[in-house]
Structure 1
Amino acid sequence: MRLPPEDRELSPRTGYTREHWVAAADGLLEAAWRWASPRGARLDLPGPASANGVRSDGLEGFARTFLAAGFRVAGEGGKDPHGWLGQYAEGLDAGTRTPGRDDAESWPVILDHDVAGQPMVEAASVALGLRLTRPWLWDGLDSRVRDRVEDWLRGALRHVPSPNNWYLFPYTVAGFLESVGRGDAETARARDRALELLEGWYRGDGWYADGDGRAFDHYNGWALHLYPVLDAYLAGTPTPLGERLLEHLESFALWFGGDGAPVHFGRSLIYRFAAASAVGLGAVTGDTPLRPGVSRRVLSGALRYFLDRGATGEDGLLSLGWHGPHAPTAQFYSGPGSPYWASKAFVCLLAPAGHPLWTEVEEPAPSEGPGAVLAQPVPGFLLQSTPDGIVRLHNHGSDHLRPHEAESADGDDPHYGRFAYSTGTGPTARDNPSDNHFAVVVGGVRSVRRRIHPLGAGAGDSWGWAASWHRPVFGRGPATVPGLRVESVTVARGRDDVRVHRVAGAPPGAGAEQTGWATRLGESVLRPLLGWTGLDEVRAPQGTAYVPWVVLPRLTGDVHGTTVFAALAVLGTEPRDPVASATADGVEICWPDGFVVRIRFGRLEVSAG
């Protein structure tokens, strides 16, 4: 990728300017278009097919790169020096001539989400790309091509989306059709239904759940905020949804480390710098509390983080992974074109060159300060940053389990079920020992955490806490043990996080295990404070998205009746050495400087003094 020289006066933190973003968009597009079908309807990028099949994957490559081209050309007022729009126009013509035909160009038809439904996702990207570039692309298409494109897009309005952010795909398709005078009762229904569901999924403080249940992750920014707020912006109509984006960004900027990395948490992480798209959207629409120099620092930090670490290989293509290729980071629905949802980050290019986002001097990101602890009670998160720039996320509320779904160990997801995540570590793979995990051990079988029930979160001056309970689930034998329950509290202060677990209802002979951060040997600390009797290490040979091989510190102990365990976990090597002691109804944690945190179980209370 050919990038311009760094500008350390305007951007002292990253060196990146708007010109770097334009060059990155062009570089990604140039590399992807080398794999276009003869008439450009599909970009059949090299790599293993997704569960949706190669034809759907080829459409995905076309549609998602079209987003990057749309933001790039619209942000330049229609200037298209590389002729991207002409190539997409020919591809639109070829792809919609005979939808569903098994040939090199025809797009698959749009069906229900459970019947090869991926084209519905891509329809939204096609519609958004067309809306962004209407004066220079859509308005110049032959009327017969416009009719065919509309016919294909309307499949998104007539089929059933997945019960989550997917409802915003027909919403986006309908928004485009209405913007070009092709709206009707069908488009109105799609938009009304999406907004109705969005209201039900809104939980406060800028957080939407991704469907019914408690799935909170990066989809909050790159989908649930992005589509409706961008729709209103392109329509030139104010929306109260912008206030929610502003609320989200009040704390979301701390989800990025000092090196630019987003917190490695949740699904679809192969979208990489798309995680920063809400920051760019807020800067464009004005729905942000962040100063322009902070917004650009977060945006450019995320882009540079991945470009510097091999997200694009020698062929210039975004790989299925995090830094480089990493199979456990991808989902079953991920194909070679999937990573190009990263194109959403280029929404920042809708801010023209003279916008303060690009003219103000870069400022430090929130994670570049002396350290902070931030509670997010709505999703059940506790964020902890330290002077080394690493941000930790302690998860006591997001589980990616729908309300009707049974808890099963088969569905254990490392990107939700662990107690802690960070910008510098990734979870271990499912078939390796689990990092940052608390397990009850019954008959030699370790439990997993599926449905998470938040109990609260709060923060004081330089410290914070978050708590939850869960029902341990087992992969062999009975799925659960009647009456078995684990209540968990994380207390964060400085680099320290103290993990307290209260086990009740365990059968005779049960044990417990606690693991720490997944790092190279000697880069993390896990110390017993209360209840633990053994300490050893276990290896995860498959490594993480960050390193190819890791070792996990592990604590072990026995469960006798209702048992309380406490441990100190540190990502790094400089703990403050707190001590913990049992009280009549909980635990007291005391640091050498006299700071004390008291935890009372039952009707949970956490206080400091």
Structure 2
Amino acid sequence: MMNDVLNIGSRSDFVTLMFQILNPLKPYYTKEKAGLKIGYTSAHYEEKSAQMEGFSRPLWALAPFFAGGGKDDAFDEIYRNGIIAGTNPKSPEYWGKCHDYDQRFVEMAAISFSLLLIPDKLWAPLTDQQKGDFADWLNEINRHECCSCNWMFFKVMVNVALQSVGMPYDQKQMDESLDFIDSCYRENGWYVDGDNGQVDYYVPFGMHYYGIMYAMFMKEIDPVRSERFIERAKLFGKEFAYWFAQDGSALPYGRSLTYRFAQCSFYSICIAAGIEPLPKAVMKGIIMRHLRYWMEKPIFDNAGILTIGYCYPNLSMSESYNAPGSPYWSMKTFAVLLLDENNEFWKIKEEKLPELDNLKCIRYADMIVQRINGAVTAYPGGRLIEHQHTHTEEKYSKYAYSTKYGFSVMHSQVTMAEAAPDSTLAFEVFGHVFVRAQAHDFKVMEDRIISNWSPIEGIDVCSTIIPTKNGHKRIHVIKSKYDCIAHDTGFAVPIDSDIDQECKMICIDGNGKNEILKADPNTNLIASKTVIPMITYEIHKGENYIETMIENM
């Protein structure tokens, strides 16, 4: 098992694991090595871009590996030849001219990171013509619009890379992009992801990861901004630790969860850059436990290829931008390989998480985080933005998200089984199932969350979520123009579980009765077959008051 190499935490352990993950890819590079074809499912962008994505993402691990003194002739040759072919307009594998909001801009980040770390492999061996082609292709990002979110960092990193090798770059666009990133900053280390307006994993593996990269390479040229990024990372890392459970799992919340073990990559880039929001031994423990957690899951296919999904292969939970190569974003966690084998980090013994509060209001993440028996439950305020990506409602708008139980995504709104509405208040009306999506407003306090929302015109709900010692209490005031049914649902638990020992539902006030919903298979991110305990209420026209207790053991 891949987990067998993670007992000590030496550099050789990480290198062995990296090759166990990446070596299965070697037969699937295209003839001139500029693409990687590992599957037949589609994303919304062109197939050539999908294959280019598959090519680029392993570089998040390979570039630090080479920069830290590693050697692998096969990957060395693949990536040098692939970049030459991909940026040569005369090559049949040319990556092509870009357009506004192009997926290829995302992949330029890994290539720019690699150009900064290993110019001796990806730049020095090239002819002047090849260097010109490479630089011209990267400059495509300066000729087009990027999405107003973490993507603005891609313009920054491309221009930093071009500057580092003495090629023309666009200082104005770099400055404008950096100003936009600053506008996304909240407080205490937390950003929102631009126009998406959400706090999710794009804060650690997007905003902070790239900010730290910038500081690593620009500290002499731009010391003020570099120090600002470092200080923000130090603040963030202290509260981000609350998203990790005792068993190494991280909070399943938000989009892009198919990037799996990139969830801890923030701590990896901190270690690589010499930044200590937490002691090194604690950060090493977070990384080690997290990798062990993932390597125990069936996330690879029979050929050893990472699949789209979460704790098992699952296209249902994916976004429209997930192509077969997308999960290799996970390789960001191997940034620690930038440290050579003599670095003290490899000798440090991993430590447990520090003593964390059992209940923590993370104000600038708009959530309360609770720890029960080592597991993490987060209670987010809700979502104020409109629908943005696939399953936005399920990924941001439930009452609770759990490292132990994950969350479920809808197959359809026609039946309760297909809707699989866990950790929410689900209304059955007009032959469909409706749940909380965009909230009218919400308020996150130290001990509770209040949100006002409407599942459908004619029904208005005020929900109050109050964490308790063993779970949480929900109070709902419902004003309805219709007689209908409402289900206050608990976590989706594995189908063979003792439900009351996992998630006990208690009706405190109202006409509720206990029921068990057998959800459609493959709706939950962690367990492929689940049941959902719930309290079912009859809702009448007018004002209704219901109260439910949820105890998760």
Task: Tell me how far 1:183 sits from its aligned partner.
Answer: 3.9
The whole-number CA distance in structure 1 between the counterparts of 2:136 and 2:440 is 44
Name the counterpart of 2:393: 413
Name the counterpart of 2:61: 68
Name the counterpart of 1:178: 163
The whole-number CA distance in structure 1 between the counterparts of 2:436 and 2:14 is 40
Query: 1:560–1:68: structure 2 CA closer, same or farther, 3 Å change rule?
Result: same
Contact residue 48 and residue 95 of structure 2 kept, 8 A? yes
Q: Which has the higher contact order (CA 8 A, sep 6+)?
A: 2
Name the SS for the 1:501 alignment partner.
strand
The whole-number CA distance in structure 1 between the counterparts of 2:383 and 2:73 is 43
Point out where structure 1 has 5 or more consecutive residues left out of the alignment.
8-14, 460-464, 475-479, 573-609
Say yes or no: does 1:304 pair with 2:280: no
Point out where structure 2 has 5 or more consecutive residues left out of the alignment.
412-417
Name the counterpart of 2:467: 492
Query: 1:399–1:189: structure 2 CA closer, same or farther, 3 Å change rule?
Result: same
Say yes or no: does 1:535 pair with 2:514: yes
Name the counterpart of 1:219: 202
Work out which of the residue numbers 327, 331, 339 in structure 2 matches 1:343: 331
Contact residue 6 and residue 292 of structure 2 kept, 8 A? no
Say yes or no: does 1:551 pair with 2:537: no
> What TM-score does the superposition give when structure 2 sets the normalisation length?
0.90
When the two structures are aligned, how many residues end up with a matched partner? 534
Work out which of the residue numbers 303, 307, 320 in structure 2 matches 1:315: 303
CA offset digits 1:263-292 (Å, max 9, x no partner): 111111111111111111222334332111
Contact residue 450 and residue 465 of structure 2 kept, 8 A? no
Work out which of the residue numbers 46, 52, 57 in structure 1 matches 2:39: 46
Work out which of the residue numbers 476, 491, 496 in structure 2 matches 1:517: 491
The whole-number CA distance in structure 2 between the counterparts of 1:170 and 1:321 is 29
Two-structure CA RMSD over aligned residues (Å): 2.5
Say yes or no: does 1:144 pair with 2:126: no
Name the counterpart of 1:591: none
> What TM-score does the superposition give when structure 1 sets the normalisation length?
0.82
Q: For residues 442-591 of structure 1, what are the structure 2 equivalents within 5 Å?
A: 442-443=429-430, 445-452=432-439, 455-459=442-446, 465-474=447-456, 480-481=457-458, 484-503=459-478, 505-520=479-494, 521=497, 522=499, 523-543=502-522, 544-557=524-537, 558-559=539-540, 561-572=542-553
Contact residue 449 and residue 470 of structure 1 kept, 8 A? no
The whole-number CA distance in structure 2 between the counterparts of 1:397 and 1:62 is 36
Contact residue 375 and residue 466 of structure 1 kept, 8 A? no
The whole-number CA distance in structure 1 between the counterparts of 2:322 and 2:298 is 19
Q: For residues 337-376 of structure 1, what are the structure 2 equivalents within 5 Å?
A: 337-366=325-354, 372-376=358-362
Say yes or no: does 1:95 pair with 2:82: no
Name the SS for the 1:50 alignment partner.
coil
Name the counterpart of 1:205: 188
The whole-number CA distance in structure 2 between the counterparts of 1:310 and 1:412 is 25
Task: Tell me how far 1:423 sits from its aligned partner.
Answer: 1.2
Contact residue 384 and residue 441 of structure 2 kept, 8 A? no
Task: Tell me how far 1:400 sits from its aligned partner.
Answer: 5.6
Task: Tell me how far 1:485 sits from its aligned partner.
Answer: 3.5
Contact residue 391 and residue 409 of structure 2 kept, 8 A? no
Work out which of the residue numbers 378, 393, 413 in structure 1 matches 2:378: 393
Contact residue 215 and residue 401 of structure 1 kept, 8 A? no
CA offset digits 1:433-477 (Å, max 9, x no partner): 210011345445443222236644344xxxxx3413232133xxx
Q: Percent identity?
A: 25
Query: 1:467–1:358: structure 2 CA closer, same or farther, 3 Å change rule?
Result: same
Name the SS for the 2:37 alignment partner.
coil
Contact residue 520 and residue 529 of structure 2 kept, 8 A? yes
Say yes or no: does 1:229 pair with 2:216: no
More helix by share: 2
* Matching residue's letter, 2:66: V
Query: 1:236–1:359: structure 2 CA closer, same or farther, 3 Å change rule?
Result: farther
The whole-number CA distance in structure 2 between the counterparts of 1:313 and 1:350 is 29
The whole-number CA distance in structure 1 between the counterparts of 2:396 and 2:346 is 35
CA offset digits 1:161-201 (Å, max 9, x no partner): 122211111221111111112244xx212211221211221
The whole-number CA distance in structure 2 between the counterparts of 1:418 and 1:124 is 32
